[in-house]
A and B are shown apart, each in its own frame.
Chain A
């Protein structure tokens, strides 16, 4: 149960500025011929949580970026408390009392947590801002159990930790309207519950929140009203409480989504990946993976659950050859690949869907067909001696785009112009088109809409049926439960246990994520799922 302390602190922060109502009227915005926003009307009043629901590319993020001053609308106006205002920069937006936590984090990678927060903090003293802000950051972190070292550089933090920095950054400025873009995708169930309580309290205090989410449960549970976008247009406004999940989903994608995947049991016989007592150092030079052992078999999806920052990123990097293993052994099909180069490991039959797809997965300014062969360009099928065979590469890309339903006008488009979901489909397609023995997928559906999520999860299951082994790292427990044959829970670089998917202890996985080892059935009943 949250103590009153943090709530009070939150409350103080958010009541410094008041916005009674905010309207966005007839907002339109096009990106070279694509209408990202088409005559959109949205209204929020104080004491309301508005849910913004829509598939990837539906225009939610564009709309919110307009509100945050990152894009300028082609047409339409924004009103706060009935007065027309113009927001031409994020700073103007902050001055109007709008705070935003982006889905793709807007942090300076080489700066520390404190420096990043000081950067956006309106009341930062001119000299030595760290001093004043450190205190506030530490009290924030403690009260919300955020557990962030304020001296750490952003690039050393996991995605989850970075998001927490973003949340502090927005709230510390006393945002009256808080825009949250997929806020809970990296929180544990317990953290999510605490976070929700905070949001509910804020609502009671008359604050305004816009919640962008693909999680229908979340929308239903938290939001007073929901606005559904599809292809840049508003397709419905509704009171969230009156709608069931199915109706919401149907509004969003125009058809029914069935969240049940057929996953018949398959025998585990042939071992593909073997990890034996592996230790890995983190960016700061101290060990973050402390002796992990497991195997992954053909026809199996092996899940690693846990709060981000507990060593899963480093473990994945060690398996895929991006990070040095300090102790132990990694074998693929009984071939030792410990500390081999990333290319050699890929050639052995390991492919990798990286976390932070835009940072690692693509070169944004290169064309789609150039990104479609990233990591495979050296292979025979795409090159003739030293030359690339662009004819074959383009043919391959066209096929990939068709097979994996990547929505794009052409393959001669800079990859940065695709939406997040389409970039992820391209990456996944690239990685599994080759039918790798082992597919390592890190947060493959993070921040994607239901349609794309369902599609990508089905592709992972297909890989399993075809005889591949899949190592899935995810913070989304729903995803882990739906897909995995076995689930390992990682905490501070150790596995707290490996559970079969039908193990009754799975109900208490939240306890294991918080560091309880060797859970017995029935224990920890309050971590209900």
Chain B
């Protein structure tokens, strides 16, 4: 009889860990391929469409970079909180809150301020909005021991409804023919685009600089050290005099704030006004969880995993059009990949052997 033995793996080389990652991605692709076959699509054709749609043309690649911007920002922040084993599932609403704060600043002060002043102010406001929204679950956890997975997840709905209330109510523009949109941001508050694309350069630069800084913070600073000790052993952190409350609140400020920056980028760079929550974000806050995981919670790798998943988002749009697949295809694709990545982690941490013979 065959049976499976699982035991701890004490050490794994960097190469082995990388190969596991590649294998997990490949296995995920195979599983997704099966799903394509079930829905009557040639998987090779579909994959070719996806990747040629996102990386195969200049237009596609520019779209990919556009979508990578929020993923990199959010993923970088999530890598930090996940390192401390604080499971923030609420980046989606932290993004929206950032968008709301940024839009308010843009609409109210934009007309009277020049671009170099208003744009940083909007980013600052967006960071603040996301950070404040992110602080709520941190405080709930610290004061009342409420599990952050539940609170961050639930806050997503609250924020989405709040945004909807704003756009159908007090913030609704009279100039939009009855659509639930806010006014357009004034010109000074709109981010300039890379010519011939939708890449809002300011946000891209902020994103890359931010993840580089976060990488340094995590691996080189006292604060980053404290974050890692808390994640590895909270009891030892307490013994070592590390302020658990302060650190937890700070990392949620970082993570929420990064998502808030992404929200400002989306509004000021792409949409130019606030509208329904799912058109502002299209699930970046959730996709970024996979981005952070694929990056092994190292902020710098988020750049690559962010571009990879942005590619899948763009390619997913392409196959929706050319193969007539439903819009949920991308969500299925991403979810399947996450499951395989987590399985890959299991194989990196454990030695699994299949043995023949009598079970003991």
A residues with a Cβ closer than 8 A to B are 31-32, 69, 71-72, 85-89, 92, 96, 321-322, 341-346, 352, 354, 359-366, 370, 374-375, 377-378, 383, 386-388, 390, 414, 417
Pair B232/A359 contact, Cβ less than 8 Å: no
Cβ contacts B1-37/A at 8 Å (1 or 0 each): 0010101001100000000000000000000000000
Contact of A386 among B11, B222, B241, B357 (CB under 8 A): B222
A-B contacts besides A341-B241, A343-B241, A377-B226, 4 pairs, CB < 8 Å: A87-B360, A88-B3, A360-B238, A361-B239
Could you say which residues of chain B place their CB within 8 Å of the CB of A69? 360
Min CB–CB distance A63 → chain B (angstroms): 16
A88 to B3, CA, bound (A): 10
A-B contact pairs, 16 of them (CB 8 A): A32-B10, A71-B7, A321-B241, A322-B238, A322-B239, A342-B241, A344-B241, A359-B233, A360-B239, A361-B236, A363-B232, A366-B229, A377-B222, A377-B225, A388-B220, A390-B220
Pair B220/A387 contact, Cβ less than 8 Å: yes
Min CB–CB distance B74 → chain A (angstroms): 24
Pair B236/A387 contact, Cβ less than 8 Å: no
Could you say which residues of chain B place their CB within 8 Å of the CB of A71? 7
A259 to B242, CA, bound (A): 39
A321 to B242, CA, bound (A): 12
Contact of A86 among B7, B238, B359 (CB under 8 A): B359
Q: Does B221 belong to the interface (CB within 8 Å)?
A: yes
Min CB–CB distance A141 → chain B (angstroms): 27
Tell me the B235-255 residues at the A interface (CB within 8 Å): 235-243
A365-B221 in contact given A88-B3, A374-B240 (Cβ < 8 Å): no
- Please indicate which of the listed interface residues B222, B237, B358 has the most CB atoms of chain A within 10 Å of its own CB: B222
B230 (CB) vs chain A CBs: closest residue: A363
A78 (CB) vs chain B CBs: closest residue: B360
A91 to B304, CA, bound (A): 44
A86 to B358, CA, bound (A): 8
B223 (CB) vs chain A CBs: closest residue: A386
Pair B225/A31 contact, Cβ less than 8 Å: no
A72-B7 in contact given A366-B229, A388-B221 (Cβ < 8 Å): yes
A386-B221 in contact given A72-B7, A86-B358, A366-B229 (Cβ < 8 Å): yes
- Please indicate which of the listed interface residues B222, B226, B239 has the most CB atoms of chain A within 10 Å of its own CB: B239
A34 (CB) vs chain B CBs: closest residue: B10
Interface of A is mostly: loop
Q: Does B228 belong to the interface (CB within 8 Å)?
A: yes
Min CB–CB distance B350 → chain A (angstroms): 12
Tell me the B82-101 residues at the A interface (CB within 8 Å): none
Pair B239/A375 contact, Cβ less than 8 Å: yes
Across the A-B interface, give the 9 residue pairs with the lowest CB-CB distance, nearest first.
A343-B241, A86-B360, A342-B241, A363-B232, A375-B240, A92-B360, A363-B233, A360-B239, A374-B240
A352-B239 in contact given A69-B360, A363-B229 (Cβ < 8 Å): yes
Min CB–CB distance A374 → chain B (angstroms): 5
Cβ contacts B197-236/A at 8 Å (1 or 0 each): 0000000000000000000000011110110110011011
Pair B241/A364 contact, Cβ less than 8 Å: no
Min CB–CB distance B5 → chain A (angstroms): 6
A484 to B239, CA, bound (A): 25
A366 (CB) vs chain B CBs: closest residue: B232
B8 (CB) vs chain A CBs: closest residue: A71
Pair A365/B241 contact, Cβ less than 8 Å: no
A345 to B236, CA, bound (A): 16
Could you say which residues of chain B place their CB within 8 Å of the CB of A370? 225, 228-229
A87 to B233, CA, bound (A): 31
Pair B222/A342 contact, Cβ less than 8 Å: no
Min CB–CB distance B151 → chain A (angstroms): 20
Number of interface residues of B (CB under 8 A): 28
B229 (CB) vs chain A CBs: closest residue: A363
B232 (CB) vs chain A CBs: closest residue: A363
Contact of A342 among B3, B7, B235, B238 (CB under 8 A): B238
A364 to B10, CA, bound (A): 12
Min CB–CB distance A343 → chain B (angstroms): 3
A362 to B232, CA, bound (A): 9
Pair A364/B360 contact, Cβ less than 8 Å: no
B360 (CB) vs chain A CBs: closest residue: A86
A378 to B225, CA, bound (A): 10
Min CB–CB distance B298 → chain A (angstroms): 15
Could you say which residues of chain A place their CB within 8 Å of the CB of B239? 322, 342, 352, 354, 360-361, 374-375
Pair A341/B243 contact, Cβ less than 8 Å: yes
Min CB–CB distance A423 → chain B (angstroms): 12
Could you say which residues of chain A place their CB within 8 Å of the CB of B238? 322, 342, 360
Could you say which residues of chain A place their CB within 8 Å of the CB of B225? 370, 377, 388
Could you say which residues of chain B place their CB within 8 Å of the CB of A354? 239
A239 to B360, CA, bound (A): 32
Pair B221/A342 contact, Cβ less than 8 Å: no
A154 to B11, CA, bound (A): 31
Pair B229/A360 contact, Cβ less than 8 Å: no
A40 to B239, CA, bound (A): 39
A340 to B269, CA, bound (A): 49
Pair B243/A88 contact, Cβ less than 8 Å: no
Pair A387/B221 contact, Cβ less than 8 Å: yes
A101 to B330, CA, bound (A): 51
Min CB–CB distance B214 → chain A (angstroms): 13
Pair B236/A363 contact, Cβ less than 8 Å: yes
A169 to B335, CA, bound (A): 42
A365 to B12, CA, bound (A): 13
Pair A88/B10 contact, Cβ less than 8 Å: no
Could you say which residues of chain B place their CB within 8 Å of the CB of A85? 360
A359 to B236, CA, bound (A): 7
Min CB–CB distance A236 → chain B (angstroms): 29
Could you say which residues of chain B place their CB within 8 Å of the CB of A344? 241
Contact of A387 among B7, B222, B232, B243 (CB under 8 A): B222
A33 (CB) vs chain B CBs: closest residue: B11
Pair B3/A375 contact, Cβ less than 8 Å: no
Could you say which residues of chain A place their CB within 8 Å of the CB of B235? 359-360
A92 to B239, CA, bound (A): 38
B224 (CB) vs chain A CBs: closest residue: A388
A447 to B357, CA, bound (A): 38
B9 (CB) vs chain A CBs: closest residue: A32
Could you say which residues of chain A place their CB within 8 Å of the CB of B241? 321, 341-346, 375
- Please indicate which of the listed interface residues B5, B10, B236 has the most CB atoms of chain A within 10 Å of its own CB: B236
Could you say which residues of chain A place their CB within 8 Å of the CB of B11? 32, 414, 417
Tell me the B174-190 residues at the A interface (CB within 8 Å): none
Could you say which residues of chain B place their CB within 8 Å of the CB of A390? 220
Pair A388/B222 contact, Cβ less than 8 Å: yes
A341 to B11, CA, bound (A): 36
A354 (CB) vs chain B CBs: closest residue: B239
Could you say which residues of chain B place their CB within 8 Å of the CB of A89? 360
Could you say which residues of chain A place their CB within 8 Å of the CB of B221? 386-388
- Please indicate which of the listed interface residues B7, B220, B235, B241 has the most CB atoms of chain A within 10 Å of its own CB: B241
B353 (CB) vs chain A CBs: closest residue: A72
Could you say which residues of chain A place their CB within 8 Å of the CB of B228? 363, 366, 370
A88-B220 in contact given A69-B360, A366-B229 (Cβ < 8 Å): no
Contact of A383 among B7, B222, B242 (CB under 8 A): B222
